[in-house]
Structure 1
Amino acid sequence: MAIILILLALSVPAVTSKGSHSLCLHSTYIKGKTLFPEFSSTLMLDDIVVGQLNSETWTYVPRGNTTNEDDVIDPQHIRMISKYMYDDFEERWIVLDGGNLTDSLKVQQKMILCELLDNDKPGQMITRSSSKGFTTDEMSYLDGKFTYSGTSYKFTYSGASYITQQELKPRLELPLWRHEHLYYPACIKTLRKYFKKRQNQVKKIVKPRVKLIQKANSDSGGFRVSCLATGFYPRHINLTLFRDGQPVSDHEITGGDLLSNGDGTYQMRKSLEISADKHKYSCSATHLSLDNKLHVTLEFDHGEPFKSVIPSVLIVLALLLVFGTGAVIYKYRRRRAASSKSDYSAASSSHSLWMLATYIKGQTPFPEFSYVGMLDDITVMYYNGETRTFIPRGNTTTEDDMFESKIILIISDDIHGQFMDRWGIAKKNLNETDRVIALQKLVVCELRDDGEPGQMITRDGVSGSTTDELRYVDKNFTYQGHLDVSTQLLNFHLEIGMRRHESFYQPLCIKTLKGYLEKRRNQINRKVKPRVRLIQKANSDSGGFRVSCLATGFYPRHINLTLFRDGQPVSDHEITGGDLLPNGDGTYQMRKSLEISADKHKYSCSATHLSLDNKLDVTLEFDPGEPFKSVILPVLIVLALLLVFGIGAVIYKYKRRRAASSKGDYSSASTSEGSIDSKSTHKAEEEVTQMSEALSK
């Protein structure tokens, strides 16, 4: 298989410059009856295979390495990229070919290549797609310029259609940004790492063995002169046939293809058909291993029936070696996985990692695209789609090693692209108004209390209403939603979704979840006891009463709150409330209420929480109700005002009387007093008489 994959990779015309180095990922997809796997992917440094993907197990297998290369490339990256390639191949086959199997083979290929020039400066990056041996699309990125050539289709649930130039331009903006900020830097970085590890292999120089031979051609009755150079490395060579000292023109030459040998070296053959003539033929080769040109003279060869068997034998041996090594590695890894199935000490309850993405269209101060990441109920990260930046939240230590930012950026851009496509479809059914339209996506993965992955949910919504939901749990994949597509196309997309969840999304989510649990252990494991009250207050609307059990200030959020009537739990259909609400300090509250009339039942409430050793039971407190409480304050204010004004009036009258009594001359005090007493007594008698008459009436 290794030999065949190399041949497939080398069938792509050389795109790198002499003296430069390249990293190339080459994938092939075959539909039809064939001995080869449906999907294969090979990673090559120049012309050395450095790794292959086993499409049956979706595992990356290094090739030809003499040292550990775990720090060079993450196998998860190769697997993710290969998965996307495979899904793209499948979608093209179903949409363009109708998913029909015929006797002919359907072959699609994709090549991704980046180049490092001989001055250690990044060169070009090329992404090329082909079908049935013909290039269909090619994207090239060099010196900040992005070019595209080919025939483009847009794939939707309803089929494929050509993309107009107007539609093509915005669709190239996202690939351009990805190439510039993600693919290109990552490819060059990986290329440099591989070159450092494999430079002894890459820089090796092996001289060619060159022969010029002539043999009879039974078909034409003439002869064939062939110049053969073999066993050389690196692959760049210049091979020239001469006739009477002059180069033979290219249109007369056959062959000239570069082929690989089984030992990592290469060969090239150029041939010329001749009749019986007296010309003199020679051949020259120019190669990095040679100081000067190598000239050879003509030799006669009766044919190579025996030698033609050797490459076939070598291919069979290579295939046996590849499959045998793959089987050993696969069994070894399965044993290791079984022995270390769970090295994670699970928490006392399940935990989850949430990602809520929002895409907003309309006049709003918020960014068009953003999302938040949450560990359980703690916000751990925020992503701003306008600046494409991640902002950690609530961390006390660095979390740069939590996840590969390039992978998260790729996923973020994919979600953003999905939103843009969904908006393009949704706006056709919406009136152009000033109202804000919000598209949302929720992705949740769960880690059970036994340390095993739980369910994973992907949910889409429009303006607060759920439209689609994908649920993956225990290798079972279910879909709920409304897609107006054929059953075949729906099953195809569900199969792709299941594979992505099983091999990439869930493992990545669980890995990140475990990492955050390790980093945020103190925050997640903190426990705050709830404050619980059971109160009864008048309900002005119904004329009865409302009994409410309130628990507040607790963490974590999981709590069991139960209302009892005469010692028996109140049924749920009688209860209102029960929603979990956040407080401003990072804790939570929950309230459950029951409408009652004036009765003689006894009510109680119990709370169960991780912070409590036992159930917390509380008894009823009476609350006179808001209507009565609202009167108390105004009454108190009125009484206070009356008291202030009353005291002021008494003091005022008292001062006036004292001022009046001190106006006269103190020398005639006795006479005046007698006169005053006489008049006062008479006046008092008159007032008493009047009051008596009034009472008698």
Structure 2
Amino acid sequence: MQPPHFLLFFFLPFLLPGIWAGPKELQVFQLLQTCLFTNYSSTEVFAVALLGDVAIYVIDPADWSIHYHWPWAHQAASEGDMAKMKSHLKLSIRNMIQYVHEMAHKMQVDYPLVIQIHGGCELHPNGTSRGFIDVGEGGRDLIAFNMEKKQWEPQQQSLLADWVNESLNSKKAITGLLEHILSISCPSHVLSLCSYGKATLERQVPPVATVFARMPSPAQLLLVCRVTGFYPRPISVAWLRDGQEVPPGPELNTSAILPNADLTYQLRSVLAVAPQDGHSYACRVRHRSLGSRSLLIPWENRSSAPTITISIIVLFLAAAAYAVAIWWWKHSTSPPAAGATLRHGLDVKKDAVTAHTAPSSSCCTCSCTLSTSTMQPPRLFHCLLLLVPGTWADLEGSCKLHIFHTFDFRNTTFVDVSIWAALEDIIFVTREKGTLNTLYLYPWVYPALPAPEWENLNNLFHIYLHNLALSLSEDARQLQTPYPFVFQCVTGCNLYRNGSYSSFYHLAYNAHNFISFNMDKARWERQQESELAVQVEKQFSIFVGFAETLQHLLNVTCIDHMRKFIEHGKATLERQVPPVATVFARTPSPAQLLLVCRVTGFYPRPINVAWLRDGQEVPPGPELNTSAILPNADLTYQLRSVLAVAPQDGHSYACRVRHRSLGSRSLLIPWDRSKAALGVGITIAVLLAVAATFAGAIWLYRRRVPDDDGCH
């Protein structure tokens, strides 16, 4: 007997008895399934069922059991049907895995292999229905089932699509059963779900609408109608001009309906008008939750006149202020007097230093815009990356591929996502805010991987970011976590010279360790005792497929991709800049001398700086203080090592610097004891001179102050 085909296991839940009244509106049931075939012996299966935009149940990747998101979804089937469905489901998944391996063997398809299936049915209010099922491979459409012709049809011109199409069409009995499931069983199951889940599926949340204006230029006014917080998704938003609906045209731009973090929706409608066209405008919103009513938010056109006037006044004031500043500068910049030459020179030097260090300051404060024209790493990310304690602790002979992403939850409807990837300390990939489009920051990055691989990674990461943000937002909502809050994640892998590797995944909440994934024990472990940490750990632990996929991505994909990036980016990664070292002294008191060794301008980051006393290295102790390695604005590094000594201890001192750019050589910068004695003498002389000057000033002041009776 021919075993059940692998596609049929999706639709076994639909074989449920019951006659229900037809739905009031279009209902779409979808089953989304992904199979990751890592190799011949490893397969992961993920599946989720949706009715509209409501998740109904999922298939557990660990044991292929069904987990229901709602109690009523479980009630939609009897116990006997559930038992039969579970037994057939596992058998069908096994047959599916066997079939795909057979296909891969005959067609010589390379592993890893990804199969995606999208199936379900549409049920219309008039009782008619339409079934569908599509199969994809590697992110591309492979074959689809034509319900009218009752046969499979290839969706791409390839030997693989032709072979699968011919193989499935040869199984006439299975094709007939599939048609029955899509046209009869699936609509029946939809009616069952609609009946039991009526309260959830018919949930209604009214929209909140606001109207405001933007003025890109004095000749144009943009009226913005922002509608948010509504459910279900269908909505009608229109602009009215003098009570008449504005027809579609170039001046009207309405966004797509986008999801909020609280499972509601939002959109914007923008109308471009002339500031003084004499018309009245209003935004009209119609939604199921409003019944027969409509929201009508007017915009008074006359309010734009003061805005234009204010804008013009501000521009004139800015121009006038600029002109006055130029005039003052030209008339006040005269040749300095002889006594002022030194002061002016110091000011100029100070300005030069400030101008040189400005990029470093700005990168840590306000420079968060990605420059796609220069294709250089965003400096904000670079500074943040290098200032995280312990992130770049030197692992001798190791290579590191780390991914950083931050979720800034401002409120229930907005989350700001930032993400970048670093190879060693070089940020080479990031994602544009808003669109999350991938930006390749060096010319060698994109050629390092095949284009389909980049496409798969981008799709996978987009889904991951969306689901992670949704999960964290839902957990925070359930525990009534106050906004705003921030989640930070760092994950990646380290590759060592001996061929071994390590990987990790750490999640932080408001800059505190929150939860981590233990790669050795393959489990999630919370790093703090809080209700939110317990909830997130519980949710993450339920999704066994997430943990297994994470292990594969970090232990296999990450290492493989790191090797390819290292090969293609060799010139960038092996860049070497030698250090510049100087030694000088500070005298906080006559009894103590601080020797300072400043080393700067070196790359890569690992460096060794030590103090030598009479040729012997000074061991760590309270008298030795070496700073952390900090970044410069030109993507090099710096540090300082300070040694506290007695001014007249009779020893000789030198600072030794070892760096990869120096090869087997070392920098040795000695400290001259005579300079220290001279420095101490100068310090004492300066202190005595200041004291004498102060005493003389007091004496002169007292001589010039008249007595109480007016006599000198």
Q: TM-score normalized by structure 1? A: 0.44
Larger radius of gyration: 1
Q: TM-score normalized by structure 2? A: 0.43
